[in-house]
Amino acid sequence: MTAEISPGRPKVMLTSILAGVLIVLLIGAFALSVLNGQLAITPHSVLDILLEKIGVNLDGEPADLRLYNTLWSIRFPRVVLAAIVGAALALAGLLMQAIFGNPLAEPSIVGVSSGAALGAGFTIVFGVTIFGIWTIAAAAAITGLIATLVVYFMSRASGRTEVVTLVLTGIAVNAVCGAGIALLTYLGDTSAREQLVFWQLGSISGARWSQVTIVTIALICAIFYSFHISRRLDLLSLGERNARHLGVQVETLRISVIIIVAVIVGAAVAFTGIIAFVGLVIPHLMRMILGPAHLPLVITSALGGALLLTLADLGSRTIMPLTELPIGMLTSLLGGPFFFWMLRKTRKQAGGWG
């Protein structure tokens, strides 16, 4: 008797293989990022410091204090934050593309990142601390949510999201938020101005474990919620009318996803500044490999985003000696040409935008 193979089994196997490859590559990127930088550290030193952290000392001598502080206070939180922020931005891009039904949707393109940066900048310049250490992240999430809602309602016509209107609305929101950041830069003191320049260029320098904790909490909540709604996102991809006939409350789903996107993008932008195109490139690549089903895309997009930003952060620290390049610049150099290609491809599929 010949065993029947479920049609979904090859897709599950492909997802598992891809996820496994991404995890292996991510571990390798972690190792490279930890070992390389302005201060090179040997694998033996890293192993000694890790073992000493859990109470094991193979050499019988304490680890070098400078290396210990470099790893635990600077490099480890930085590498982990890069991976988590990359996963958050990629997941945000995937969710936005799902609810807008548009492959061009991405936090930086439609103004969510700049809106979140505006809120973070406001708290810096005026010294707002109403929520303690959560203040910057909360302000970024609120203004990011406002920006997302503006884009959502302005880009819809006749029950669907128009590609041109989506891009143009994002340009307008970015322009307004950019003007707001410029005004804050004018009003702020020297310290505030330096921080605002940091938001606009994007950087993961100065990462702290408290920041890692905040972004991790937001990301975990977003991932579990994405698992929960993945089936509804699949139905939504069939069209709003079909989704409603199949029992999906479309507007409720969209608003809830917008809130989740605002939270994770706000948390990421609050500590790293504007890092563009991660949410555009990664979900599209994963969709090209795995197809449109959202459950496997949630897993692989998060891993892919983590890998991309970990490598981008490594590049920002090592491409030029004795200096650090803005990570947002590197991701834009990668994502800009990709966006042009996506724009041309989408226009061709739409038969022109006349």
Q: Which amino acid is at 71?
A: L
Domain-embedded: residue 182: yes
Domain-embedded: residue 305: yes
Domain-embedded: residue 122: yes
Q: What is the DSSP string of 304-344?
A: HHHHHHHHHHHHHHHSSTTS---HHHHHHHHHHHHHHHHHH
Question: 336 pLDDT exceeds 60?
Answer: yes
Question: 6 pLDDT exceeds 50?
Answer: no
- Per DSSP (E only), the strands in the chain are 156-157, 160-161
The whole domain housing 209 covers 87-350
How far apart, in whole angstroms, are the C-alpha atoms of residue 75 and residue 49?
13
Handedness of CA 156, 232, 110, 348 (dihedral sign): negative
Q: Which residues 6+ apart lie within 8 Å of 209 measured at CB?
A: 77
Q: What is the DSSP string of 95-153?
A: HHHHHHT-TT--TTTTTHHHHHHHHHHHHHHHT--TTGGGHHHHHHHHHHHHHHHHHHH
pTM of the model: 0.86
pLDDT in tens, 205-250: 888 998 999 899 999 999 999 999 999 999 998 888 888 898 888 8
Position 347 scores a pLDDT of: 66
Question: 21 pLDDT exceeds 70?
Answer: yes
Q: Long-range contacts made by residues 122-130, C-beta under 8 angstroms, separation at least 24?
A: 122/184, 124/184, 124/188, 124/192, 124/195, 124/196, 125/184, 125/187, 125/188, 125/192, 125/196
Domain-embedded: residue 55: no
Domain-embedded: residue 341: yes
Per the structure, the count of domains in the chain is 1
How far apart, in whole angstroms, are the C-alpha atoms of residue 172 and residue 266?
19
Q: What is the CATH number of the domain that holds 92?
A: 1.10.3470.10
Domain-embedded: residue 77: no
Domain-embedded: residue 39: no
Domain-embedded: residue 294: yes
